Structures are given as C-alpha cells and as structure tokens.
Amino acid sequence: MDSLREILSRTQREGVALGHFNVADLSMLKGVLAAARELAVPVLVGASEGEREFLGTRQLALLLKSLREEVGSPVFLNADHTHSLGKAVEAAQAGFDSAVMDFSALPLEENIRKTREAVQALRAINPSFIVEGEIGDIGTGSEIHADAPGPARALSTPEEAKQFIAATGIDVLAPAVGNMHGMFARMVRGEAQKHLDVERIRQIKNATGGAFLTLHGGSGTADADLRSAIGAGINIVHINTELRLAWRRGLEAALSGHPDEVVPYRILPPAIEAVKQVALSRLRLFNGSKDG
Ligand SMILES: [Zn+2]
C-alpha cells in the first residue's frame, strides 16, 4: 500500500482531496469503509481523543488493520485532535498513520514549541508518520450548536502559516479559513450553510510553497465552497457532525420502525447505511465527481 504521504502527493497532483471521517463505534466504521470500497478511493478514518477512549486506541488500530485489507483502496488511520504528546505516542505505537496535534488554544509560541516536540518524537517512532498542526480558532465540538450569531473568528494569515510550518516541521497544516467544528441547528434544518474564504486558502497555499492543507469542520459546508476550497489547495476535508447526525437518524428510524426488535445486528444496519450514504456523497464531491 502507498504511504499516506504518497497518497497526499498523488491526490494533490490530481486536484482532488481525501475524505476524513470520524468514527465513534463499529457501525460508523463499517459505513465509512463501505463507501470507500464502493467508490474505490483512498480514505482517512479519524478518531479524536474522546472517540479513541470509547473505542480503545489499540483496539481501533487492530480492527482497522484487519478491515483495511477488504476495502481494496488505501485506508489510513488518524489520531484526530490530540492535545498531549503522550496520547499521540500511544496512537503512533498502536499503528495509527497520522496525528493532528492540536495546541491551537495556546499562545502561538507555545503551540510551535509543543508541535515541534511532537513532530520529532513521533518521527522517531515511525519515520513515515504524518503530523498535522493547527493554528487559529475553528471552535470545538463536532455536535449541534444552538443557533447563535456566529462569533467573528480571526482567519489564519499566510505569514503565520508559513512561519508555523517552518518552525515546527509539520507535514500538514490545519488553518482557520472560515470553517468551524459542529453545525448550527439552522444548518441541520437546511436553512443555512457554512461558507469558506477560498481566497485565503489560495494565499496560504502559495505562501507555504504548496504545503498540504486540511479543512476541519467540513460538515454543513456548501458543496460549491468545498469544491472551490479543494481547487485552491485543500488536501483533506474532515466530516464528523454530518456522520453523527446520519447515524442517529438511522438508528432512530430503525428503533421506531421495529419497536419490539432487540437483535443489534438487525437494528443497526440502517444506521450503517445512513453513515455510508453521507460518506459516499462527500467522497464523490471530494474526488471530483460531477454528480457529487
Ligand atoms: Zn477537527
């Protein structure tokens, strides 16, 4: 299997992006992998610290190791939003391919120092391990937020992006470009969508000499904005809240449709299918399909 670095280089040349989907349980993992298998495209499976705690870091790595052989296309495992070196080391030793070191809540100098330290420690464990760093404020919590006037978040600047990459040695940068984690309730109702500053993405891509860029908080973003963002240089798009919403709706429909059913493997397939459909539609879009 090609390494994640090779896949990033290849998809960058092709002008498409990798889908990154968070999983919190086996049904979500099955849905995501079914979508990747159907489209025969590479995919990133992500698990945040909370998701890893629930699934088990080593257990998820071993599960994926056995499942990825059946998918046919490359599947990588990412330790999403990791706030300590210890947790990242645990993931790297368990067999994860990459980690998002998120010290973005700290002052920039401290963020740089801790991220650089992580890059060195993780490469010592696995030289092909991919480390992502984060600057700027993109909010927390891949969940439904009460409708509120969105806080005015500062966007990452091309200068700080360039400085951060040079000072830390990261492989991938997650900038703040109008994106945010989670979805507002009005987005769930289909009354609003997120919009991105595509020009800022282009400026950051140019200033960093074509560095790999990740878009976090992709859920609820207008398709046209995602397409333009990928065209401007986004290499990885994170989708979590949309999957969680699909999982919950699929589960609710299964439970209410069969109130006396108690067999988990008869209850859960609609939740798996709902997750798969979201992943399919997002993967089609990220991989440049016209009907995406
Ligand atoms: Zn994120």
pLDDT in tens, 12-45: 999 999 999 999 999 999 999 999 999 999 999 9
Cα 77 to ligand 1 centre (Å): 14
pLDDT (0 to 100) of residue 161? 97
Cα 81 to ligand 1 centre (Å): 6
Cα 71 to ligand 1 centre (Å): 25
According to DSSP, residue 150 is labeled: P
The answer on pLDDT for 292 being more than 60 is no
pLDDT (0 to 100) of residue 140? 82
Read off the pTM.
Answer: 0.96
Cα 82 to ligand 1 centre (Å): 10
What residue ranges in the chain does DSSP mark as E strands? 18-22, 43-47, 75-82, 98-101, 130-134, 144-145, 172-174, 183-184, 212-215, 234-239
pLDDT (0 to 100) of residue 176? 95
CA atoms of 21 and 44, how far apart (whole Å): 6
CA atoms of 35 and 284, how far apart (whole Å): 10
The answer on pLDDT for 50 being more than 60 is yes
Q: Are 207 and 183 in contact (CB under 8 A)?
A: no
Share of the chain above pLDDT 90, in %: 89
CA atoms of 199 and 229, how far apart (whole Å): 9
Residues 259-276 as b or e (16 or more Cβ within 10 Å = b):
eeeeeeeebbbbbbbbbb
Cα 101 to ligand 1 centre (Å): 10
Q: What is the rounded average pLDDT for all residues in the chain? A: 95
Cα 271 to ligand 1 centre (Å): 23
Dihedral, CA atoms, 54, 55, 58, 59, nearest 10 degrees?
150
According to DSSP, residue 22 is labeled: E
Q: For the residues 44-50, what does the mean pLDDT come to?
A: 98
pLDDT (0 to 100) of residue 153? 78
Q: Are 216 and 138 in contact (CB under 8 A)?
A: yes
pLDDT (0 to 100) of residue 150? 63
- pLDDT tens-digit map of 71-86: 989 999 999 999 999 9
- pLDDT tens-digit map of 121-138: 999 999 999 999 999 888
